[in-house]
Amino acid sequence: MRRLIIIILSLLIVLSCKKSDEEENGQPHLKNDTIIAHYMLDGDALDTSGNSINGILYGNPEITADRTDDPGSALHFDGSDDFISADIGNHDPIAISLWFAHRNNETGKAYVIFDYGVNAFRGEVDMTSGATKTYCYINDTSIIEMRSPKMIYSNDMIWHHLYVDSGSDTINPRMYIDGYYEGMLEEKQSLNIIDNLIYFGRAGSEAFTNATYFDGKIDDIRIYNRVLGENEILSIIDNYSFE
């Protein structure tokens, strides 16, 4: 009997540890073997995930308030020479979650939010057609197009949440905006990663122009080595009210 009690208690302890690893404060908790890097952008580009993949700031991004109006908790990129780069290694699949607020700017240009592996995996705000859209490119050929009413930018600097992944063996590449599913490629494609650098606020190619720089705010960048489930995506934006 005593041995049975000991076995039961041991099982309860194991289950408790497993739960605490999967759930933290009622939200999914991602272990270090899942998250590659986490950039809070509280005036710098330090990696807070514990993996020490710190980013490098270029230009002079302005420290600004985040989506909750907390001062000094996001970065404002000027659309001219501000950007971040980081060597995150070679990952496929990969998923990116971030917050951004874009300035209502010049029609006819495309403003890069992120670029990984030199156009292997890239997201941008595209205003070249006059109808503002957010795209995700994979290998600069396959495109996930998202055309959401929230993305028309009728007002400047409205915060949005962007989640996009490169897909997995069982899930095709997907894009979510503000927690809403917006697009999927018809099939999974392997990323053609030329180098291990990821850029935020600028294209990764050498031949870049002012049109590729992002003009607006970016905050809370999270990079994962797997795709996230919809509940995990929603947990990131939980309790935030979009305008």
Q: pLDDT tens, 21-39?
A: 344 334 344 556 799 999 9
Name the more confident of 81 and 25.
81
Q: Taking the domains of the chain in order of start, what are their residue ranges?
A: 1-30, 31-236
Name the more confident of 94 and 124.
94
214 CB contacts (<8 Å, ≥6 apart)? Answer: 77, 79, 82, 83, 100, 102, 111, 112, 113, 125, 200, 201, 202
- The class level of CATH for 31-236 reads mainly beta
What pLDDT score does 154 carry? 52
Average pLDDT, the chain: 82
Of the candidate ranges 6-10, 176-180, 181-185, the one whose mean pLDDT is the lowest: 6-10
Task: Give the model's confidence band at 15: pLDDT under 50 very low, under 70 low, under 90 confident, else very high.
Answer: very low
What pLDDT score does 126 carry? 76
Is it the case that residue 206 has pLDDT exceeding 90? Answer: no
pTM of the full predicted structure? 0.84
Is it the case that residue 230 has pLDDT exceeding 60? Answer: yes
Determine the Cα–Cα distance for residues 94 and 115; give it in Å rounded to an integer. 12
- Asked whether the bond before 93 is cis by omega within 30 degrees of 0, the reply is yes
Is it the case that residue 153 has pLDDT exceeding 90? Answer: no
- Helix (H) / strand (E) element for 111: namely strand 110-116
Structure token pair of residue 110: 């495309």
Name the more confident of 170 and 145.
170
